Structure 1
């Protein structure tokens, strides 16, 4: 059973009274981004899903074949007055290696590529600026290869992928791969975390 959430298209404009924004980001397995983003002050909701490809209503199995063009991504709804998009991207880049094409650790394939699917021209410009700044800082030995593209459609992933870390924190993958990211988050972005951690 797939997550029953309406598809989100990139050309949906937020109304003036709605101060929340959305960001769609991919950096390896979506579980590895969902978990840290949920802990950030200003983040209202994080949904794991698929985007950036050409196959409509893809399943996890289909995306895993590498033929749909989709990446595993998370859609983050956040308050930019509390967490500016630029700062969200700084966390994003610290949570994965943006210099390895189509790969994060043992997860290999185009579905694991580093990607920013912008919802507005402002997001595109900020993403380009942040990448330029990070490359100039020589944080990594190789240049950033993160793809920047407009969001067309976001497809929520199946229910069992949602809040995966919270429901399966004792699983081997979570302990080996996600736990170190959470520790890094607490060390490097302590001032950005919610006062009461999401359990």
Structure 2
């Protein structure tokens, strides 16, 4: 149920633990929920999505206050904290569930995402072409409870230390002014 005065963004940028951990750091983000979107199966579970048969992508639903943090800033963070040129893969996470995707909730979000991709490509920010899919908003099936707040609950776990922590360091270095607790 939409909260009055807030907006929703839905991003797939590899493992949803990473996307969730990144966006939870931003001032103006009210909550982030990992889930599955874009597939052809109702009520998918982690094992089915990982098997690749459901067509779903691991995503994070991000509820934010557009008066504190705008959609373009969310896009800037999205493109800076994952590899949008890697098809169906982010680092060691391989499979169609890890593709780069933006589920546009309205025409304005779609136009802003298209503009952002065009700007990044024109500026030559990435060596390879951006393969991020722009899709219409669709139902997001919440991930199992054990996936929620994964990094916050398991910061010393190997994946968290090796994959998520470097993303958070990059976020702090590049977007320190957007963080809940500004960088020192």
By the TM > 0.5 criterion, same fold? yes
Matched, 1:87 2:80: no
- Name the counterpart of 2:153: 167
- Name the counterpart of 1:104: 90
Matched, 1:72 2:46: no
- Name the counterpart of 1:59: 45
Please give the alpha-carbon distance, in whole angstroms, between the structure 2 residues aligned to 1:61 and 1:151: 23
Please give the alpha-carbon distance, in whole angstroms, between the structure 1 residues aligned to 2:34 and 2:110: 21
- Name the counterpart of 2:5: 19
Please give the alpha-carbon distance, in whole angstroms, between the structure 1 residues aligned to 2:66 and 2:40: 30
Conserved? CA contact 2:104–2:137, under 8 Å: yes
Aligned length: 183
Please give the alpha-carbon distance, in whole angstroms, between the structure 2 residues aligned to 1:127 and 1:53: 21
Q: SS of 2:54's equivalent?
A: coil
Matched, 1:119 2:99: no
Q: Which runs of 4 or more aligned residues in structure 1 lie more than 2 Å from their structure 2 counterparts after TM superposition?
A: none
Q: SS of 1:189's equivalent?
A: helix
Please give the alpha-carbon distance, in whole angstroms, between the structure 1 residues aligned to 2:128 and 2:182: 37
Matched, 1:32 2:43: no
Matched, 1:137 2:107: no
Return the TM-score normalized by structure 1.
0.89
- Name the counterpart of 2:172: 186
> Which stretches in structure 1 are left out of the alignment for 5+ residues?
1-7, 9-13
Return the TM-score normalized by structure 2.
0.96
Please give the alpha-carbon distance, in whole angstroms, between the structure 1 residues aligned to 2:151 and 2:182: 17
CA displacement 1:95-135 (0-9 Å, x = unmatched): 10000110101111100000000111111111100111111
Q: Which has the higher helix share?
A: 2
- Name the counterpart of 1:147: 133
> Which stretches in structure 2 are left out of the alignment for 5+ residues?
none
Please report the RMSD computed on the Cα atoms of aligned residues, expressed in angstroms.
Answer: 1.4
Please give the alpha-carbon distance, in whole angstroms, between the structure 2 residues aligned to 1:34 and 1:136: 29
Conserved? CA contact 2:104–2:110, under 8 Å: yes
